[in-house]
Amino acid sequence: MITDEALMLEFQGGSRQAFEQLFVRYRGPLYGYFRRRLNGDQRAEDLTQETFLAVIRAAARYEPRALVRTYLYGIAMNLLAAEARKRFRDLPPGQPAPEPTTHDAPDAAVWVRQALEKLDESEREILMLREYEQLNYAEIADLLELPINTVRSRLFRARMAMKGYLEPERQRDDPVASCEVPEKLRLTRAEGEAI
């Protein structure tokens, strides 16, 4: 199998087939990246296409300093930032940003989405790049221009925060779990009342 970097260099040399292979490899992952961050499927599709158009336009300037995957997600992040600025600019004053649609998502998906929204923006992005886009620590560090240890610590904090946000949901659904008191705690209470 030809590496992404070799395909990109072939495309830079004029190979249409190399670009088509890159498109096949990354169309789905980039679409998923945009869909998870935007309200509409159509806009996610449009931005996926715009990402590849940007690759075509910048093919002559491409230098293999980073992985092609990181390069593509960098373009995608820039397009997403421009989209957010455009949406913010187009909102009437005083109107809150629209909530992401759930598309009849199961309850667990809604809880995860709500928990993600509670995270700090930088931690949310790192968590999503790692868990949804399956980027490794080095790729995330390159993409966000952060030290790798910063990526690790923010990812750890994001995972802990997500666990904390999602735990109460599970306990609310299971009344027995929320009412159970551990044996050790009951003894401590009894001892406290006796004193």
pTM above 0.75, yes or no: no
Burial 159-195 (b: 16+ CB within 10 A, else e): bebbeebeeebeeeeeeeeeeeeeeeeeeeeeeeeee
Class of domain 103-195: mainly alpha
DSSP 119: S
Name 117's Cβ contacts closer than 8 Å, sequence gap at least 6: 124
Q: Which fold has domain 1-101?
A: Rna Polymerase Sigma Factor; Chain: A (1.10.1740)
Each residue's pLDDT expressed in tens, for the chain with a length of 195 residues: 899 999 999 999 999 999 999 999 999 999 999 998 886 778 999 999 999 999 999 988 888 888 899 999 999 999 998 988 887 777 666 555 554 444 555 566 677 778 888 888 889 899 989 988 889 999 999 999 999 999 999 999 999 998 888 886 555 555 544 444 444 433 343 433 333
The domain limits of the chain are: 1-101, 103-195
